[in-house]
Amino acid sequence: MRPPSPDWTAEDIVEHLKSLGSEENRAGLARFGVATANALGVGHTHLNPIARRVKVDQRRAEELWRTGYREARILAGLTADPGAITIEQCRLWAADFDSWDVVDGVSGLFVETPFWLDLIQEFAGDEREFVRRMAFAMLAYGAVHRKKEPDGTFAAFLPLVERHATDGRNFVKKAVNWALRQIGKRSIFLHEPALALARKLAASDDRAARWTGKDAVKELTDAKVLQRLASKRVADR
């Protein structure tokens, strides 16, 4: 088969993915907690280059999502158009979430939409494990990649992090921790309140909150992190 290109259909992409997958890779994914019932066994080392080659196409992305395959859905997230996808479509996709890596693979798309802040609030309030994970995966991704966003946007979400730090479900807990760490590493301005929250959570009687806080304190007080923030502050002057 010729290399992936922008004229490939969803069917072409799925056939290519099937040729790359293997049972060995599926077993490897399962060891990392990935849901493999609909997985073909293709890693990100293949998926990212495919996404770059086939480029953005909203209609094709929707077709990829409907196949139900793990890899096709990650590619849907990587190749959908954030300016064309609707908030209703995002909600429909969220209802299908069944694995943390699909959530994380789609988070970048959702963060680039004009309604990303609304989605974070909405998804955080949703009791479904992977939908709530998306809220905090988006926060983590946004803290790193939305360079022009005011720091105040992320500071305003720290109470949301605190509110859901007691959610002990594994994939929520890890995303809440991820968001707190990424917010704290974004800038000197955000480091202080994020670290203060981390220390507060570390002293909590709640097991999940305590784990989140202790892990975040460890990273936010790491010498390399502090040095990078100090260097960034000098560069920004």
How far, in Å, CA of 110 to CA of 114, rounded?
9
Q: What is the pLDDT of residue 1?
A: 64
How far, in Å, CA of 225 to CA of 14, rounded?
41
Domain boundaries, given as residue ranges, for the chain: 1-81, 84-237
Give the residues of the chain that fall short of pLDDT 70: 1, 234-237
How far, in Å, CA of 70 to CA of 179, rounded?
24
Task: Give start and end residues of each alpha helix (H) in 21-165.
Answer: 23-31, 44-54, 58-66, 70-79, 87-95, 100-111, 116-124, 129-145, 151-155, 158-164
Closest listed residue to residue 103, CA positions, set 128, 138, 69, 72? 138
Q: What is the pLDDT of residue 237?
A: 60
